[in-house]
Chains A and B, each alone.
Chain A
Amino acid sequence: MTTLTDPPKESFRLSMLIYDSRYRSMTIQVVAMIFFMLVAAWLLNNAIINLNTLGKPISFKFLSNPAGYDINQRLLDYSSRDINLRAALIGLLNTLVVAVLGCITATIIGVIVGVLRLSSNWLVARIMTVYVEMFRNVPVLLWIILAWAILSESLPKIKSFRGENATSSMSLFDSVAITNRGIYIPEPLFSRSLGNIHLLGDSGLRFDISIDLIAIVVVLALSIFGMRKVTARANAVQEATGDRPTTWYIQLGILFVPMIALLVALGFHLGLPELKGFNFKGGTHLRNSLIALWLALSLYTAAFIAEIVRGGIMAISKGQSEAAAALGLRPNRTMSLVILPQALRVIIPPMISNYLNLTKNSSLAIAVGYFDLTGTLGGVTLNQTGRELECVLLLMLVYLVISLLISAVMNWYNKRVELVER
């Protein structure tokens, strides 16, 4: 009889790579990695061969060539002699403008509609349901084109503003002209302007920042800081004595007096649009393409946001509003103090993805001829230079960065309002 003194010696066998769970995960991962790298290498190899055959190896030199086309709606100065990189920058800013404007209006409309959908008023709730279903179930591209068609087909022609017997007139004390070529609104002008800061010299990315704007922002920030100080002092007094000093006139004074003083010092006035010859001169021209895109994206996204808001409010248990009522809070106080702060936690994550969707949907600007990033870099520049690979890669990269930035910012905000659990 023999006794077993040592455990049987484990020798590594090849089959253990598949059948032993200690090694199997390694095997699967290595195989997946090899497979992925093979596919990637195959695609890259094809791309290199194809590009060489076409005679255009990857190069981003086209970005510093003159763009040669004009962009009608822009925030920075630009002319057709500028380089492609600057055209892309103008496009990027246009994308951001319409995304920011759209997010703001979509949120406002969405919250109002979402709350009204829960209204006890039968008729109002039904109308809001019709609005939500109508916008959610029809493609956003159709809404964008429809909005553009409505603006350019049904608004008065500039011709009708002219002459002795004009059929159209400007609204809001002759300050706004609504025409089928866009809306002309007053622009802020400063007669004693402090000038601009020129950043990045003469390069394609040159960027002018108005010192007036910086001054306004700084004064506003200081005013808000002052208002907070006053509120904090009022709170301290209330804690100590039980009486809250009246502060609203101090607050209003802090907010408005420095701002008005600054605006007077800068010589602030409005530049009104005026009909000169065949067109309006002066003022800011918001083109139909921008307004259509903004309107359609806001209304479309608002329908989704309304559903999110409604879901968030309904997710709060009825006991919460009943408890608030038992404490004697009025319905609107219940909403602002009890329901909304809790509902926000449910609402914010899906809201983030809707903001992202709006930003990505703004790339449909190309359908109405608004020069956003897709219209410049992915549209005219791509067609003129024939650099498909480089343009589309850059385009994707920029959108990816924007998306990641938005989700990072929103996640940070989400962390702040999140319920802190033990």
Chain B
Amino acid sequence: MSDLSFVRTEMLPEQAPPASEIGVVGWLRHNLFSGWINSILTVISLLAIYGVLSVLIPYVFQSVWNAESLNECREIMLANWGSTHGHACWAVINERWLQLLFGFYPPELYWRPILALVLLVAALAPILFADRVSSKLLIVTAIYPFIMPWLMWGGSVWGPVSIALGFVVGFMVLKYATNAMGELIALIAAVVSALIWWVLLAGVFAGALDAILPFALESVQSRQFGGFMLAILLGVVAIGCSLPIGIVLALGRQSHLPIVKWLCVCFIEFIRGVPLITLLFVASLLLNIFLPPGSNFDIILRVMIMVTLFASAYMAEVIRGGLAALPRGQYEGADSLGLDYWQSQRLIIMPQALKISIPGIVSTFIGVFKDTTLVSIIGLFDVIGLTHAIRADTAWNGIYWELFAFIALLFFVVCFSMSRYSMYLERRLKTGH
């Protein structure tokens, strides 16, 4: 009996998908021309990209790198391309890039800010990449706050050393007094003894050691600071100090003690309610009025204080958001384990709250770093202030775009890396499923 079935008994081989669905064509159809609206948008976008690139590419690449002045630049452009428009004069960057980076810092001392920057990387590495870098580098982190001012401002090495010794004194007192007198008294004693050291003894100690063993760097005045270095300096100090202060303020705002809470709320809302520029006015014009008569301290230090206070208030709000996002059960769990307030904050609450608020914390950092440019308004020669100074030079009178492009690039690189780092950190700390 022959097989009369008309049903195919073997499987056909799989056919290739239509040419319009795979490969480049398929990708184009799906992502760029999936409907008539999308097609129009794609065409408009392509035209816009063409328009921008057709200006930008000749501007960036058909440019002058070596010239003494803007006029010389224009002559070279006229000779090479027949027009002075649409071509960059990077010669100004070529000539002034060191000034844009370091301001009026003495050129023979450039190694000091550079060393401070290298040490900063070494100090930050064990914190930022805790899973890859040895924790031994934390020693650099601990001593960095004392080395950095010494490197930047110069002066005797014994000043920072004696200030650092104050912390050692306080720590020693805390360690030995805890057994004798109990924690709270020991803490108070430690703070008081450190204050006594700083106010009464540190100066004498530094002076004496300086007389015996003089070891000093050439000192640099604050008004010589400037350029992108100033932005980094202000940014690092404000970022470094604002995180701890912000945590304290956030805890204060969450506190059950009404007076403490009220003080923190007033401080945070006041700082967040006024523009940074008014705080900088306070730093440059008013801070001396509020200090004892005759005291006159450094403008950069004053600006640092105000920028730090500004950043702290924003940081406090970000961390408060993290604290509020934490489920109530975490607080209750910590209480039921019998932990006291500080233990539960340190071991249970803060690690989680800070993890939740990483994106906010980093965007506050980026905001503070960008806002350091505002110091040009109160007359410091940061990188934007320097563009006015460069334009005041007759050789470069009338140059705008190249300087702005260079500054924008500097800030973009730093801020963009910060935001990418926060994404990496979020991924690393992710414990959910």
Contacts and interface: CB of A to CB of B under 8 A. Distances in A.
B404 A363 contact: no
B377 A367 contact: yes
Contact of A36 (B263, B275, B412, B415): B263
A363 B277 contact: yes
A124 B42 contact: yes
B234 interface: no
Given A142-B408, A367-B377, A50 B260 contact: no
Given A18-B184, A29-B257, A374 B277 contact: yes
Interface in A126-155: 127, 133-134, 136-142, 145-146, 149, 153
B404 A145 contact: yes
B41 A138 contact: no
Interface string A14-46: 000010000001001100110010000001001
B290 interface: yes
Q: Taking each of A25, A137, A356, A404, which has the highest tally of chain B beta carbons within 10 Å of its own beta carbon?
A: A137
Interface in A84-137: 119-124, 127, 133-134, 136-137
Contacts of B400: 146, 149, 153
Given A25-B256, A138-B370, A389-B289, A120 B281 contact: no
B376 interface: yes
A388 B288 CA distance: 11
A263 interface: no
B258 interface: yes
Contacts, number: 151
A158 B118 CA distance: 52
Contacts of A323: none
B129 interface: no
A49 interface: yes
A400 B263 contact: no
A154 to B, nearest CB: 9
A18 B188 CA distance: 12
Contacts of B292: 46
Given A395-B281, A399-B274, A121 B260 contact: no
Contact of B286 (A142, A366, A388): A388
B257 A25 contact: yes
A339 B45 CA distance: 26
A25 B261 CA distance: 12
Given A121-B31, A366-B377, A403-B273, A28 B260 contact: yes
Given A120-B31, A363-B277, 8 more contacts: A25-B256, A53-B293, A120-B34, A137-B411, A139-B373, A382-B285, A388-B289, A389-B289
A404 B275 contact: no
B407 A142 contact: yes
Given A120-B31, A137-B419, A141-B373, A366 B277 contact: yes
B260 A127 contact: no
Interface string A387-414: 0110010011001100110000000000
A146 B404 contact: yes
B290 A123 contact: no
Given A124-B42, A136-B415, A361 B275 contact: yes
Q: Taking each of A33, A138, A374, which has the highest tally of chain B beta carbons within 10 Å of its own beta carbon?
A: A138
Given A29-B258, A137-B412, A50 B293 contact: yes
A392 B286 contact: yes
Interface in A144-177: 145-146, 149, 153
B229 interface: no
Interface string B268-295: 0110111111100110011011111100
A364 B411 contact: no
Interface residues of B, number: 54
Contacts of B256: 25
Q: Taking each of B256, B277, B282, B293, which has the highest tally of chain A beta carbons within 10 Å of its own beta carbon?
A: B277
Given A29-B257, A145-B384, A399-B274, A127 B48 contact: yes
Contacts of A46: 289-293
Nearest to A300: B370
B374 interface: yes
A392 B306 CA distance: 14
A314 interface: no
21 contacts: A33-B259, A36-B263, A46-B289, A46-B292, A50-B290, A121-B42, A123-B42, A124-B45, A127-B48, A134-B412, A137-B415, A138-B412, A139-B371, A360-B274, A360-B275, A360-B276, A363-B278, A388-B289, A399-B274, A400-B270, A404-B269
B42 A374 contact: no
Contacts of A138: 370, 408, 411-412, 415
A160 to B, nearest CB: 15
B49 to A, nearest CB: 7
B316 interface: no
A138 B273 CA distance: 23
A209 interface: no
A275 B195 CA distance: 71
B408 A51 contact: no
A76 B192 CA distance: 59
Contact of A127 (B49, B282, B384, B404): B49
A356 B271 CA distance: 13
A124 B276 CA distance: 35
B134 interface: no
Nearest first, the 8 A-B pairs at minimum CB distance are A137-B415, A122-B31, A360-B275, A403-B273, A139-B370, A363-B275, A400-B273, A29-B259
